C-alpha cells in the first residue's frame, strides 16, 4: 500500500514537471514553425532539432573571456529562404533555450565578410537569450568571388544588398517570430551585439531598421565602408608606388619609437597613447638609426622607410593633397595593413595585402577576379576611391548621422572603439559620432560613444577593454541607467616588454576624455573624465 502510494506520488510529480516544461516551451519540430515566414521572402526549408551547445570561445563578442564546460539545451532552427526575383539563398540560424529563457531576444553579428555564424549564438543562449544570426547569403567559408560577382564584370547586387542590410532585418523578424511560436509569448526586449562588421550591422539596424532592437551594442564599427576599405589598401599601393617593401621589423621600430615619444603625454608611462591628437612624432627622426630584428640581425632606417610610414600615418590623399580618409594612429600595429612576407627578417620582402581590402579592389571595384592588385597604381587607386563612394555609399556606407527614427523608437545604443585599432580607423567612428551630435544636441540621451585607449581591434591588446558593456546597455534599456562611464580592464600581454600590472579604468562618454589626476595608474580612481 505504501509502495503504491509512493509510486502514485512519483507519477504525479513527474506529470507536474512535464506539464510545467510543456508550458515553458513548445515542441521543437518543424511543425511548430510551419507558419514561419515573411511577406518579402519565400521560405525554402525550416529544420528544427534539439541540440546541446557548448560555449564557442572563438565567436565570443564584447565580453571578457569565459571558459566553461557547461552546456545549454536549445531548439535549433535553420531557415533557408530566397527573396523573389533575387536568385539568392540566405540562411538564418535561430537558437531558443529550452530552459531558463530570460524573456529577451538577441541578434549576433559577424566579422569581415562573414555576416554571422551558428556558433555565435552560443554566447547568447548561455545568457538565457533567444538568438538569431544570418549568413547574409553566403557561407563563412565561401570566397568573395563566389558570391560577389554574378559573372565576370558584373557585381551580384542582390548578394551585396543581403550582405549590407536586408538579411539583417530578415533575421531579426524571423528570430522574433520563432521565439513567440516556441514560448507562446513575445520577447520583452531585443538586443544587438556585434563588433567590426557586427558593429556596422548594429549601426545599419539603427539607421535603416530602427524599430527592430531596443538596445544596440555596436563596437569598432566598420561604418564608412565605402571609404575606409579603400583606405585600408593605401599602404599596399604605396609600396608599389615607392618601390619599397618594409619588413615587420622596420614597421615595428617606427611604432615603438612613436609610442615612446607620445606615451607620457597623458602623464602615465604605460605604452599607451591616450591623447593621439597631441602626438607629433616625425618618422624622419629615425633616419640612420638602427633597429634590432633578431638576436643576430639589425637594420638601418632609411629615408624611404620614413617617408613610407609618414604617408601611412597620414592616410590617403588625392592629387591636390586633400585627405580622402584617416590613417592609422601612431601606436597601432602597421603590419596588418602594410603586411609583407620576407625570406629573412628584413630581406626579399613581398607585399601581403589585408584580404578584405584586396577583395574590394579586385571584386567590387575592378570586377575582375583574376586581377593582380599589386598592379594598381596611384591614378587607378584614386579612381577606385571615387568609384567606391559613388557606387556603394548608399548601399553599405552606413554613416547616416540622422538617428531620429531610432530615437523616436525609444532605442539605446553604445559604441566603443579601441584607439589602437589596426584595421578600422578610430577617427572615422569618432567623426561619425560628432556628426550625429551636431545634428542632435540630445544624442547622448540615447546613443553614447566611448574611446578605449590602447585597445586594438575588438580586443584589448595592452589597452582598456570594457568587457561588461553589454550589461551597461541592458541596464540603460531596462532600468533607465545611462552609462556615463564603462568599466574597463587592461590586461598585460606579450605584445609589450613592459611589466604592467592589471589595470582598471572607467572609460568616458564622448566628448569627455580619460584624464590622469595622480596616484596609482593601475586604479580607476586615479583617472577622471574631463
pLDDT at 6: 35
Q: How far is it, in rounded angstroms, from Cα 290 to Cα 287?
A: 9
pLDDT at 499: 56
Which parts of the chain have pLDDT scores under 50?
Answer: 1-23, 493-498
Examine the domain organization and report whether 148 and 257 are in the same domain.
no
Examine the domain organization and report whether 158 and 200 are in the same domain.
no
Examine the domain organization and report whether 390 and 441 are in the same domain.
no
The counts of H helices and E strands in the chain are: 14, 20
Helical ranges in 243-371 per DSSP H: 248-262, 303-314, 355-359
Phi, psi of 325 (to 5 degrees): -165, 175
Any residues with CB less than 8 A from the CB of 186 and at least 6 apart, and which?
176, 179, 180
**Do the beta carbons of residue 274 and residue 454 sit within 8 Å?**
yes
pLDDT at 485: 98
pLDDT at 346: 76
Active site residues: 196, 421, 457
**Do the beta carbons of residue 60 and residue 111 sit within 8 Å?**
no
Phi, psi of 244 (to 5 degrees): -135, 125
Examine the domain organization and report whether 359 and 312 are in the same domain.
yes
C-alpha cell at 115: 555576416
Residue 517 forms part of a structural domain: no
pLDDT at 46: 98
Examine the domain organization and report whether 249 and 384 are in the same domain.
yes
Residue 18 forms part of a structural domain: no
Q: How far is it, in rounded angstroms, from Cα 191 to Cα 39?
A: 23
- Which range of residues forms the domain containing residue 356? 227-394
Residue 143 forms part of a structural domain: yes
Residue 380 forms part of a structural domain: yes
pLDDT at 461: 78
SS3 265: helix
pLDDT at 9: 39
CA angle (164 as vertex; 162, 166 as ends), nearest 5? 45
* Number of separate domains in the chain: 3
C-alpha cell at 253: 621600430
pLDDT at 459: 87
Last residue of a domain, one of 348, 371, 394: 394
Examine the domain organization and report whether 233 and 218 are in the same domain.
no
Amino acid at each position: 500500500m505504501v509502495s503504491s502510494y509512493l509510486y502514485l506520488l512519483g507519477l504525479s510529480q513527474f506529470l507536474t514537471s512535464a506539464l510545467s516544461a510543456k508550458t515553458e516551451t513548445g515542441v521543437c519540430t518543424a511543425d511548430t514553425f510551419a507558419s514561419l515566414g515573411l511577406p518579402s521572402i519565400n521560405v525554402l526549408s525550416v529544420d528544427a532539432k534539439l541540440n546541446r551547445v557548448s560555449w564557442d570561445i572563438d565567436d565570443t563578442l564584447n565580453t571578457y573571456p569565459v571558459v566553461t564546460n557547461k552546456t545549454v539545451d536549445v531548439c535549433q532552427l535553420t531557415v533557408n529562404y530566397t527573396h523573389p526575383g533575387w536568385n539568392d539563398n540566405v540562411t538564418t540560424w535561430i537558437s531558443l533555450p529550452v530552459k531558463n529563457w530570460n524573456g529577451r531576444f538577441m541578434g549576433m553579428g559577424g566579422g569581415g565578410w562573414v555576416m554571422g555564424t551558428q556558433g555565435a549564438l552560443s554566447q547568447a543562449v548561455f545568457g538565457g537569450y533567444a538568438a538569431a544570426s544570418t549568413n547574409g547569403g553566403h557561407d563563412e567559408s565561401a570566397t568573395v568571388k563566389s558570391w560577389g560577382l554574378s559573372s565576370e564584370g558584373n557585381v551580384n547586387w542582390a548578394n551585396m544588398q543581403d550582405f549590407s542590410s536586408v538579411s539583417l532585418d530578415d533575421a531579426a523578424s524571423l528570430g522574433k517570430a520563432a521565439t513567440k511560436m516556441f514560448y507562446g509569448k513575445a520577447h520583452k526586449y531585443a538586443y544587438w551585439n556585434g563588433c567590426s562588421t557586427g558593429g556596422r550591422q548594429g549601426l545599419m539596424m539603427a539607421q535603416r531598421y530602427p524599430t527592430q532592437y531596443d538596445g544596440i551594442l555596436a563596437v569598432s564599427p566598420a561604418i564608412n565602408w565605402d571609404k575606409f576599405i579603400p583606405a585600408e589598401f593605401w599602404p599596399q599601393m604605396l609600396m608599389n608606388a615607392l618601390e619599397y617593401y618594409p619588413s615587420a621589423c622596420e614597421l615595428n621600430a617606427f611604432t615603438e619609437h612613436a609610442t615612446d615619444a607620445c606615451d607620457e603625454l597623458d602623464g602615465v608611462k604605460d605604452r599607451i597613447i591616450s591623447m593621439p591628437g597631441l602626438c607629433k612624432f616625425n618618422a624622419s627622426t629615425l633616419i640612420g638609426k638602427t633597429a634590432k630584428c633578431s638576436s643576430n640581425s639589425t637594420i638601418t632606417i632609411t629615408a624611404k622607410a620614413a617617408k613610407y610610414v609618414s604617408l601611412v600615418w597620414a592616410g590617403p590623399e588625392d592629387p591636390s593633397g586633400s585627405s580622402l580618409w584617416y590613417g592609422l594612429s601612431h601606436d597601432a600595429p602597421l603590419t596588418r595593413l602594410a603586411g609583407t612576407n620576407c625570406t629573412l627578417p628584413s630581406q626579399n620582402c613581398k607585399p601581403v595585402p589585408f584580404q578584405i581590402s584586396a577583395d574590394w579592389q579586385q571584386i567590387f571595384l575592378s570586377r575582375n577576379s583574376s586581377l593582380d592588385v599589386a598592379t594598381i597604381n596611384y591614378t587607378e587607386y584614386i579612381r577606385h576611391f571615387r568609384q567606391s563612394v559613388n557606387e556603394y555609399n548608399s548601399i553599405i556606407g552606413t554613416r547616416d548621422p540622422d538617428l531620429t527614427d531610432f530615437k523616436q523608437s525609444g532605442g539605446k545604443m553604445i559604441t566603443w572603439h579601441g584607439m589602437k585599432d589596426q584595421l578600422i580607423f578610430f577617427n572615422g567612428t569618432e567623426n561619425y559620432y560628432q556628426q550625429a551630435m551636431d545634428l542632435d544636441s540630445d544624442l547622448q540621451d540615447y546613443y553614447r560613444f566611448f574611446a578605449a585607449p590602447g585597445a586594438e581591434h575588438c580586443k584589448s591588446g595592452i589597452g582598456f577593454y570594457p568587457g561588461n558593456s553589454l550589461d551597461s546597455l541592458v541596464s540603460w534599456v531596462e532600468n533607465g541607467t545611462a552609462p556615463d562611464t564603462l568599466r574597463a580592464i587592461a590586461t598585460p600581454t606579450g605584445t609589450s616588454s613592459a611589466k604592467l600590472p592589471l589595470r582598471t579604468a572607467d572609460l568616458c562618454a564622448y566628448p569627455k576624455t580619460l584624464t590622469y589626476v595622480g596616484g596609482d595608474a593601475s586604479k580607476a580612481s586615479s583617472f577622471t573624465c574631463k
